[in-house]
């Protein structure tokens, strides 16, 4: 029986290996040094480094309310403006942008369009190129900016003008915006594919990709959706930016669920957003890339009009004034007890002592309890800074860890 089965398998493999259709596909898919391929085209730059290539998926992640939608506004604004904060468009002609919103209400999406995207575009530096319609016979925009019946008069709304002092109008024809929160999860992916086919975008903002599946931990569905997005991005020659939350645990910064795992593996780039308290400063950092590393982080705050403005990085490792522990403590808000100042003015957190104080006499603590205790002891406000210290403590052998279900537990390692 075993020999018979092996023979059948061998015969099937032999047939598969000589199938003309399969051979034809292999020849088409072969990569050689002289095969003519189109050059990779990047739509935008961040700090003058190319990002968001055509035909690829790009992921932006972060905890809830960490500034992801603010960053999406910058990407969209850069599509028709010369620049938006540290983002710049690489093409002479403006980009056709499709925003597919699955998370917010219709009113919130429209509010962002009216009071954030439009002001960012019309107050930007001069454009690199003229307007370009996405549809061959585009007579008006698919963007709906007309208030619904019963809405207060325009003058009573906190709505910015759709043109600047120089008379330049917001290029509505370059933006196609859809809110599909009320549609079922089964309908959202077909609607997205139809929108891409109809609008022919260069840049697609999918906010968020999690809402294309019913169960975030359904591995097969996550795989199928990601594969479909990759194919349509390549076929439509667009870049699809997928917004997805991180896992809820503070120490776990991985992308949420099976769909997050698939994106981590398949995306061309992954970026992380974080909100730093109490300064209310947002930071965007590149976490993964297949090509160009971006070493700088984008820091920005939001003014009283709700518009983002780029700021410098909060002081972290170098002090140019009088370098005393007390001065650094006042500037950073950290407790002087856990600060170490080095010759030349650099400083660091004494994470060895910090974790020992947090755990001494306590046996083991779960990740959330340890985080709260550590951050409370030293006055730390940034979860990102805590995560860096946690990784250092684990790497240095200060902490031991075990996993129980979805939780991580930590305790002090025995001294050598």
Tokens of 29: 């898919």
Lowest-pLDDT choice from 18-22, 220-224, 254-258: 18-22
> What is the average per-residue pLDDT within 205-221?
94
Looking at residue 406, its pLDDT comes to: 84
As a whole number of angstroms, the distance between CA 118 and CA 124 comes to 10
The 3-state DSSP class for residue 125 equals coil
Based on C-alpha coordinates, what's the Rg of the chain? 25
Looking at residue 164, its pLDDT comes to: 56
Residue 182 scores a pLDDT above 50: yes
Sheet of 175-179, strand order: 175-179, 97-101, 203-207, 239-245, 57-62, 269-276, 281-289, 298-302, 308-311
As a whole number of angstroms, the distance between CA 220 and CA 225 comes to 9
Looking at residue 129, its pLDDT comes to: 46
Question: What CA dihedral angle connects 204, 194, 266 and 63, to 10 degrees?
Answer: 60
pLDDT, greater one: 70 or 167: 70
Cα torsion 168, 198, 143, 79: sign? negative
- Residues belonging to the chain: 416
55 touches 98 (CB < 8 A): no
Looking at residue 52, its pLDDT comes to: 97
Predicted confidence band of residue 25 (pLDDT cuts 50, 70, 90): confident
Looking at residue 330, its pLDDT comes to: 73
pLDDT (tens digit per residue) in 348-407: 889 889 999 999 888 899 999 999 999 999 988 777 788 888 988 888 888 999 999 889
> What is the average per-residue pLDDT within 80-102?
93
Looking at residue 7, its pLDDT comes to: 64
* Its pTM surpasses 0.85: no
As a whole number of angstroms, the distance between CA 369 and CA 397 comes to 20
Cis peptide before 208 (omega within 30 of 0): yes
In the chain, the percentage of residues whose pLDDT exceeds 90 is 50
């Amino acid at each position: 029986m075993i020999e018979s089965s092996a023979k059948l398998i061998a015969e099937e493999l032999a047939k598969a290996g000589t199938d003309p259709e399969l051979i034809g596909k292999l020849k088409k898919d072969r990569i050689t040094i002289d095969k003519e391929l189109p050059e990779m085209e990047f739509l935008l730059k961040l700090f003058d480094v190319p990002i968001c290539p055509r035909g690829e998926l790009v992921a932006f992640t972060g905890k809830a309310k960490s500034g992801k939608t603010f960053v999406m506004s910058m990407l969209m604004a850069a599509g028709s403006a010369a620049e938006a904060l540290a983002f710049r468009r690489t093409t002479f002609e403006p980009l056709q942008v499709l925003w597919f919103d699955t998370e917010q209400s219709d009113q919130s999406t429209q509010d962002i369009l009216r009071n954030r995207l439009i002001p960012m575009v019309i107050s930007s530096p001069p454009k690199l190129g003229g307007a370009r319609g996405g549809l061959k016979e585009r007579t008006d925009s698919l963007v709906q900016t007309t208030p619904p019946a019963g809405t207060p008069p325009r003058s009573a709304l906190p709505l910015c003008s759709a043109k600047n002092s120089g008379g330049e109008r917001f290029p509505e024809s370059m933006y196609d915006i859809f809110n599909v929160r009320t549609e079922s999860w089964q309908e959202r992916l077909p609607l997205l594919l139809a929108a891409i086919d109809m609008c022919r975008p260069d840049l697609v903002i999918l906010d968020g990709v999690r809402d294309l599946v019913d169960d975030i931990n359904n591995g097969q569905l996550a795989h199928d959706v990601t594969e479909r997005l990759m194919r349509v991005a390549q076929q439509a020659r667009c870049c699809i930016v997928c917004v997805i939350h991180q896992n809820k645990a503070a120490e776990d910064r991985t992308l949420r669920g099976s769909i997050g795992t698939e994106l981590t593996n398949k995306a061309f780039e992954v970026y992380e957003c974080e909100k730093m308290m109490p300064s209310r400063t947002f930071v965007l950092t590149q976490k993964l890339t297949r090509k160009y590393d971006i070493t700088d982080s984008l820091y920005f705050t939001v003014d009283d009009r709700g518009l983002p403005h780029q700021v410098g990085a909060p002081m972290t490792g170098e002090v140019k004034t009088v370098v005393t522990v007390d001065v650094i403590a006042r500037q950073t808000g950290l407790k002087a007890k856990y600060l170490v100042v080095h010759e030349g003015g650099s400083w660091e957190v004494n994470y060895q002592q910090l974790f020992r104080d947090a755990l001494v006499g306590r046996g083991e603590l779960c990740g959330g309890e340890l985080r709260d205790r550590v951050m409370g002891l030293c006055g730390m406000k940034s979860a990102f800074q805590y995560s860096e210290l946690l990784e250092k403590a684990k790497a240095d052998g200060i902490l031991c860890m075990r996993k129980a279900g979805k939780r991580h537990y930590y305790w002090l390692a025995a001294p050598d």
